[in-house]
Every structure is written in C-alpha cells, then in structure tokens.
Amino acid sequence: MFENLTSKFEEIFSSLKKAPSLNEAQVDEGLRKIRQALLEADVALPVAKELIKNIKPKAIGQEIIRSTTPGQMIVKVVFDEVVKILGDTKSELNLNAVPPVCLMLVGLQGSGKTTTAAKLAKYLEKN
C-alpha cells in the first residue's frame, strides 16, 4: 500500500519539480493527482479532502525561497500538511497499568502492523 502511494507521489512531485515556475492550473492538476493517489491508497475521503483543502492556499500563496524551485516548495507544503494530519507531536508510551497490558494494532494489509509489533517488542525489551 505505502509503496504504491510513494511511487505515485514521486511521479507527481518529479513532474512538479521540473517546472521552473508553477501556475494555479498546474498546482490544481498536481493536487488532483495527489487526491486520486490518496484515495487509491484507501485514505478516507474526508482526510484526503482536508489535506488538499489545506495544501492549496499554501501552495499557491507560498513565497519561493531563492535556493528552491516552486516544485520543491510544493513538496515541502505537502510534507508539512501530511505531518500535521498524522500528528506532529510525540506522545510517550505509558504502560503503567496492572499487567498484563493489552495493545491493539489496527491497520490494512501491508500497513506495517507486524513490523510495528516487532519494533515495540524490542523497545519494551530494552526499557
């Protein structure tokens, strides 16, 4: 799932990065492709809509830093918004409960539940 989404994002961003300047139509087309890629990756429609809604004004109104291209700025805006939606604050794992403590890992096939369980086990073993 993530490999497919990553490859689609790379494809979208590579076409945007090549452009020396971007107009609103190009940004809209890129955002349409991003939304389509998110929906194909089973991202909930309200989440995809919210992400696009937050990206568009920032991508169009973004002041370009001299050392970057407009396409690179779009990548940064998208990255910042994805981080904001996923959660940009770190929260500690608190297992101060009466043992045994149960954790539930939920996700689609291929989303990393087993890998996360292994990483969690290693973390708990060390601490």
SS (H, E, C) 70-123: HHHHHHHHHHHHHHHHHCCCCCCCCCCCCCCCCCCCCCCCCCCHHHHHHHHHHH
Q: pLDDT tens digits, residue range 78-102? A: 889 988 988 878 878 788 888 888 8
Single-letter amino acid, residue 20: P
Could you tell me which of 116, 112, 113, 111 has the C-alpha nearest to residue 41? 111
Residue 91 CA to residue 94 CA, distance in Å, equals 9
Which residues, other chains included, contact 23 with Cβ-Cβ below 8 Å and sequence gap of 6+? none
Please give the structure tokens belonging to residue 11. Answer: 């494809």
pTM of the model: 0.67
Which residues, other chains included, contact 47 with Cβ-Cβ below 8 Å and sequence gap of 6+? 38, 85
Q: pLDDT tens digits, residue range 8-62? A: 888 888 887 777 777 788 888 889 999 999 999 888 999 999 999 998 888 876 6
Cβ–Cβ under 8 Å, residues 19 and 69: yes
Domains of the chain: 2-86 (1.20.120.140)
